[in-house]
Structure 1
Amino acid sequence: MAPISNGPDLVEYEDANMENQVPLVSSYNDHIRPLLDAVDKLRHLKVMNEGIQLPTIVVVGDQSSGKSSVLESLAGINLPRGQGICTRVPLVMRLQHQPTPTPEVFLEFNGKTVYTDEARAADAISLATDEIAGDGKGISNTPLTLVVKKKGIPDLTMIDLPGITRVPVHGQPEDIYEQITGIITEYIRPEESIILNVLSATVDFPTCESIRMSRQVDKTGERTLAVVTKSDKAPEGLLEKVAADDVNIGLGYVCVKNRIGDESFEDARKEEAQLFKKSSTSLQD
């Protein structure tokens, strides 16, 4: 668990123990999970095509902000990575906890279902993206759904959108910026959307294009949550930057440490916990 700031107040990192986990899990199972299940069932029935808006977590961020690392940590599987735009279509990630030890991973797109596994999920997503958006560097507004049923992951549905880039590279259309911002605006404009804004700790938040876009549709920030990545790359002044909240993030901040290379998810969580435990100790001193 990383530091969370709700407005100006920063909650220090604290190791969770079983005593304080149980009531939270119980409350979640009794009250929150049935609501999320109901929303997922309605989404599966395509009621949004009939003009009915559903609560949706929309993940946005500038290119190379660390979106993939955040989503990988939540899903517990590898996603496509690399230079340039890795997410070229809206990727609907449906995460579902299941008690059985064997994960179930499959894709839904163009009216078909393609089964894969944890090890090959990134390649399967890339192939499906090429089928939807072409094998170049262009984008498409046709969604691709990734379903992950796995023990220990949260029950969440999120929509990951292409990272914002202003300058087209070779193979991209000249209006790539307009295309991307058009897709993002379509998804974050509805008042039912929760905007999960991924920001790098290494940049000034007010300069982030994703912040500018989210503030256009959510001026008060009441439905915007920020996830600050790469916290270990710029620890100096991060507390002050988050606590100042110059960009008006109404739902607060979550600071995380990115998984590095082929580092396992378990090792990455240990490193993250150690980083924030050390930061918390420094603040107390």
Structure 2
Amino acid sequence: MDPNFIYHVPLIQHNANRRSRMEQLIPMVNRLQDVFTTMGARFDLDLPQIAVVGSQSAGKSSVLENFVGRDFLPRGSGIVTRRPLILQLIHSPHGEYGEFLHNKGKKFTDFNAIRSEIEDETDRMTGTNKGISRVPINLTVFSPHVLNLTLVDLPGITKVPVGDQPADIETQIRGMILEFISKDNCLVLAVTPANSDLANSDALKLAKEVDPSGLRTIGVITKLDLMDDGTDARDILENKLLPLRRGYIGVVNRSQKDIDGRKDIKAALAAERRFFMTHPAYQHIADRMGTAFLQKTLNLQLTNHIRQCLPQLRNKLQGQMLAMQKEVLEYKSARPDDPQRKTKALMNLVHEVGKEFQSALLGSNLSDVNLQVLTGGAKIANIFHERFPFELVKIEIEDKDMRKQIVIAIKNIRGIRAGLFTPDEAFEYVVQIQIAKYREPVIKCVDLVITELLSIIHQVTERMVRFPHLREESERLITQYLREREQVTKTACLEYVQFQLAYINTNHEDFIGFANAQQRSANESKRRLANQGQVIRKGWLRIQTGGSFLKAKDFFFVLTTESLSWFTDQEEKDKKYMMPLDNLKIKDVDSGIMSRRIQFALFSTEPK
């Protein structure tokens, strides 16, 4: 017998026990996640987790289904994942089934039923109009074929609204994703298809915003089998192009044709393995590619990540426990059936919700301000000050086009007649068309504000999560009130636009018609007539022509505010010449001590 065997056995047992304890870390965090979700936002902790981020059709759902080995996620066109899905995978030798946190105790052994339940629960919260919600769905899958793992499947990044989705759907999804991946304890699984430009990857761009150094980001490259002939992703997978600290892993998912043909996932995983083993660009790294290696890597990295976060997590949890124990002592002597106590608790809860709503509108404290996206009142202010003016600019017409429309309108109103005066109807008609275009951006602005207010309401009522009926009824009443005020607001806005259409003020200084021009012309004429008779100087003036003093002649001149005129005599009947004094001014000139003549000079006010 090996004499060192006596030392090896305790070491092996120690390592086995250590691995066993490490394997329990992920289920422990899963239980904490379920408890905090049930108890509400006030018990929320920054738990270690992995968030799956990617654009639509990047292959996120296929990667998750490959982990489980079953088809269980909704599929279709447009946005399919419309609520965050917290997927907890638990290695269990006792069969395959799933459980939902909102339907505790019911085991789903049919994975098609799991898909239907996800769809129904999504529609229950968001409706059937492709809307999204930040409230997650918690699903736990028990299976002997999975490793302990927790993933958060987030909605795919989209840029074009579908159906009744709001126009800012891209901003909403982006805000939701950043809300998850901005947390320091969240690892980011950035999924990018290989047949797209990696430099323009939406997933990597978002990950870089919150993780500039790439410490928390894991890259996943899908659709390697769909790349053009003669191209490969070798530099990416070897972490040479846009390197990440945790590197990249390539996978090959089932194609849409395989999914429609119900190709077995096990067969697909075997085909994936053959692809990497036989492809000349990936043979040397085949052991570090594929779904199986990705799942092992994520299990190991999440376990290590949880171990690193445990001290900080323990301190926060102990702090919340002390706060809860203090609160329990306050209720220790209270009677649960005391009506006054119930009423006081209800009023305190409603008051807290009101304070949070007010805080969301007026602004957050610096300690908990969101540094990634605009929220609450800031987003509403952005709608008024940036989004609404932008919508107005889009409907403005060029001056050239407006003049053209006015000319055409004038001609159409005159018909075959040659008019002397311009008809006001032409101007009014063109202006009314422009004013009527304001209806759409005004209503759109109201819709955006209402959407944000509803989002704030749903967020602040999370304090009532322990009382689901109270929360549901509160949201219903507040939403009903908002919808009523929405209709009143839209009616008032449309009436204001209608007021502007009812009367066109052509005397406004900004109007391009002739009323102001005629008025200004009349005022100018009155001013000239008033100043025409004001004589400044009179007297004899000697005008010399040429260089000879003998050719000089004397004339009687009259200098007024408008002109300089000279006559043959003082009777001012025979006018020889009149020189207008436009842009000219008069000033006295020093004639010297010995001279008795009065001298003056005329000069121009315009620069040469």
Common fold: TM-score over 0.5 = yes
Give how far 1:200 is off: 0.3
Question: Is 1:130 the equivalent of 2:123?
Answer: yes
Report if aligned partners of 2:129, 2:163 keep a CA contact under 8 Å in 1. no
Report if aligned partners of 1:221, 1:249 keep a CA contact under 8 Å in 2. yes
Report what 1:237 is aligned to.
232
Equivalent-residue separation in structure 2 for 1:112 and 1:224 (angstroms):
33
Alignment deviations for residues 190-240 of structure 1 (CA, whole Å, 9 cap, x no partner):
110000011101111110111111100000001100111111112722112
Give how far 1:51 is off: 4.5
Equivalent-residue separation in structure 2 for 1:115 and 1:242 (angstroms):
39
Equivalent of 2:174, from 155, 174, 181? 181
Mean Cα deviation higher: 45-54 or 131-140: 45-54
1:65 counterpart letter in structure 2: A
Report what 1:253 is aligned to.
248
Equivalent-residue separation in structure 1 for 2:251 and 2:161 (angstroms):
29
Report if aligned partners of 2:221, 2:249 keep a CA contact under 8 Å in 1. yes
2:265 counterpart letter in structure 1: F
Equivalent-residue separation in structure 1 for 2:16 and 2:177 (angstroms):
35
Name whichever structure is richer in strand by fraction.
1
Report what 1:207 is aligned to.
200
Question: Is 1:34 the equivalent of 2:17?
Answer: no
* 1:1-285 alignment runs, 5 A limit: 29-46=19-36, 49-78=42-71, 79-100=73-94, 102-109=95-102, 115-116=107-108, 117-234=110-227, 236-259=231-254, 260-261=258-259, 262-279=262-279
Larger radius of gyration: 2
Change (3 A) 1:73 1:29: farther
Equivalent-residue separation in structure 1 for 2:64 and 2:17 (angstroms):
24
1:120 counterpart letter in structure 2: A
Report what 1:11 is aligned to.
none
Equivalent-residue separation in structure 1 for 2:16 and 2:70 (angstroms):
26
Alignment deviations for residues 34-69 of structure 1 (CA, whole Å, 9 cap, x no partner):
211221222122187435211110001011100010
Equivalent-residue separation in structure 1 for 2:183 and 2:281 (angstroms):
41
Unaligned runs of at least 5 residues, structure 1 = 1-24
Equivalent-residue separation in structure 1 for 2:181 and 2:152 (angstroms):
10
Equivalent-residue separation in structure 2 for 1:283 and 1:132 (angstroms):
47
Mean Cα deviation higher: 91-100 or 27-36: 27-36
2:81 counterpart letter in structure 1: T
Give how far 1:82 is off: 1.2
Equivalent-residue separation in structure 1 for 2:32 and 2:139 (angstroms):
17
Give how far 1:177 is off: 0.5
Q: Secondary structure at the match of 2:132?
A: coil
1:158 counterpart letter in structure 2: L
2:152 counterpart letter in structure 1: I
Equivalent-residue separation in structure 2 for 1:169 and 1:88 (angstroms):
12
Give how far 1:173 is off: 1.2
Equivalent-residue separation in structure 1 for 2:65 and 2:98 (angstroms):
14
Report if aligned partners of 1:108, 1:114 keep a CA contact under 8 Å in 2. no
Q: Secondary structure at the match of 2:279?
A: helix
Give how far 1:27 is off: 8.3
Equivalent-residue separation in structure 1 for 2:177 and 2:127 (angstroms):
20
Equivalent-residue separation in structure 1 for 2:135 and 2:81 (angstroms):
12
Unaligned runs of at least 5 residues, structure 2 = 1-14, 285-608
Equivalent-residue separation in structure 1 for 2:25 and 2:186 (angstroms):
15
1:267 counterpart letter in structure 2: A
Give how far 1:280 is off: 5.3
Give how far 1:171 is off: 2.2
Change (3 A) 1:124 1:39: same
Report what 2:380 is aligned to.
none
Please tell me the root mean square deviation across aligned C-alpha atoms, in Å. 2.4
- TM-score with structure 1 setting the length: 0.84
- TM-score with structure 2 setting the length: 0.40
Equivalent-residue separation in structure 1 for 2:216 and 2:240 (angstroms):
15
Equivalent-residue separation in structure 2 for 1:246 and 1:206 (angstroms):
9
Alignment deviations for residues 2-24 of structure 1 (CA, whole Å, 9 cap, x no partner):
xxxxxxxxxxxxxxxxxxxxxxx
Report what 2:450 is aligned to.
none
Equivalent-residue separation in structure 1 for 2:44 and 2:206 (angstroms):
23
Q: Secondary structure at the match of 1:42?
A: helix
Report if aligned partners of 1:188, 1:194 keep a CA contact under 8 Å in 2. yes
Equivalent-residue separation in structure 2 for 1:243 and 1:75 (angstroms):
27
Identical-residue share of aligned pairs (%): 34
Report if aligned partners of 1:77, 1:121 keep a CA contact under 8 Å in 2. no
Equivalent-residue separation in structure 2 for 1:159 and 1:264 (angstroms):
24
Equivalent-residue separation in structure 1 for 2:189 and 2:145 (angstroms):
22
Give how far 1:86 is off: 0.8
Report what 1:16 is aligned to.
none
**Aligned length in residues:** 259
1:33 counterpart letter in structure 2: E
Mean Cα deviation higher: 169-178 or 55-64: 169-178
Mean Cα deviation higher: 141-150 or 43-52: 43-52
Equivalent-residue separation in structure 1 for 2:208 and 2:74 (angstroms):
28
Give how far 1:80 is off: 0.8
